[in-house]
Structure 1
Amino acid sequence: MRTELISEPGDPARPDEDFAALALPASGQGGALVVLDGVTPPEDNGGCVHSVPWFCARLGGALTELSGSRRDLTLREVLSHAILRTADSHAFTCDLSHPRTPQATVALARWSATVVEYLVLADSALLCEAPDGTVTAFVDDRLARLPRASLATDALVDATVRNKEGGFFTAAADPAVADRAVAGEVPRAAVRSLAALTDGAARWTEKFRAGDWGDLLRVVRAEGAAALVARVRALETADRTARVHLGRSKTHDDATVVYVEP
């Protein structure tokens, strides 16, 4: 089994708000991967006394443990349990009803000898490569399909589309959001490799159009996960002034890649 994991902050002076983990059972049979992209908080920290990295560590830790230890749960149930466990850990100190209470995007995969399960919520991505090299991208594109006018300001997003019907959903404090995730399974024999990416790493395809998802996975397979992040950083730096591709988005974003050949 080949595994790679890299997570690089967009700004070395700020904590990395991504989370990534691999769970490989002692039995040597199967495994799981977890990738979260923490949502940068507003100035009031979303009514929470904790940081986004604290939240992602709690939620990511619960997802990693449950994915590996509770094979009886579906990945939607794993996510629901993990959100509830995390919410319970700070419900008495924080305002979990705040629309910007700490939250994150999610990409999960779990595999056994017979099946690969997947789950994606919000704008992280999970790529699945078949033995013939065909790459399928499991993505939750609800945010990308929203009219730009509905995303004009943070206040408008929070009031109209964040974790709301007709908008987009993230893992925050409501366990019911797990039912909104894109989830399913494919036969284990149909999977040669998996790659989970936060949107900071997926920029290579989604923002800079340097190649399609298949091209991206081939870069990771041939050159390694760190090489993909380095390519993204070079593209960001080159576009820092003109902002042809970056537009109003931050120049450098936290970038995380987990690659597995199960």
Structure 2
Amino acid sequence: MLSVDLNSDIGEGFGAWHIGDNTDEQIMPLISSANVATGFHAGDPSTMYTTVELAGKHGVSVGAHPGYRDLLGFGRRHIHTSAHELVHDIIYQVGALREIAHAHGLTLQHVKPHGALYMHLANDQDAAGLFINHLHQLAPELMLYVMHGTRLHKLALEKCHPVICEFYADRDYDQSGSIVFTRKTGALDPEQVAKKVLRACRENQVTTVDHQEISVQFDSICIHSDTPGALKLVRVVRQTLEQAGIAIQAPNPMNIQ
């Protein structure tokens, strides 16, 4: 692997409140793609505006990070609703960020659902299918960040919609290749996380929570900005990859399926 995308969830405050122990200003220069919260699980119009402005300043590609309508639970609780209502909420959020990006002379690179919504779309056939159909109709060029091998991933490929598969640096994997979903993550050892990421880039292998070895296929590395110590995680992972000759850069649309 000569290069890889490094993405993080950005702009996940609300008004005067901020999530996590780091500022977007510190993380933004270290990543290549920013998943900007779009107001339902976190974020608000002014935060979205300043976050996109910050991304533009550092040459970071911008993506929409829509979530469940769940500010209280930070989008990490499953909301029982119809597939149509869910997709309408996503369209609303993506559209809002797209216009804010246009106000800065930028275009959206991608969309990445957040938290419990990400997991729901990964596994629910009806919701995933409806989402892909609408996304491909409205923005066929907008890359979709997904977990490799999920229903959403497969449906996107069938639709010939461009996808970016992710590797989760700060999450554990189970034997099926899925991440172990958690509402709260403790502090992690940056050196161990970087070692895990470098091995995944070189060997396409990761050790699961039950100490099994599985293969992983990905185009982008995700480090969540609300993980305790996220800034150091991002910094050490980037340094480790660059020292190994692996460049950090946003995906090239010409190379995406």
TM-score category, normalised to shorter length: 0.3 to 0.5
Q: Which has the higher strand share?
A: 1
Q: Which has the higher helix share?
A: 2
Normalising by structure 2, what TM-score? 0.34
Normalising by structure 1, what TM-score? 0.33
